[in-house]
Amino acid sequence: MNKDQVKGAAKDLGGKIQEETGKLIGSREQQLKGLKNQAEGKVQEHIGNLKEDIKDARKS
């Protein structure tokens, strides 16, 4: 696992929590921010996955 995978997963999780908090308090703004953070986290995690794939391919 590399730092992008870890940071991306953490940002995705934080976004899910933020979205759910927004739902509980009735804040559409917080829900949207949570969704944005989830998307950013997933992209960062996928970048990390690609980096790992490239590193593994170089070893072969």
Q: Please list the rounded mean pLDDT of every run of 10 residues in the chain (60 residues).
A: 97 98 98 98 98 93
What does pTM read for this prediction?
0.90
Longest dimension (CA), the chain: 52
pLDDT at res. 33: 98
pLDDT at res. 10: 98
From residue 14, alpha-carbon distances to 6, 30, 47, 57 in Å are 12, 12, 18, 32
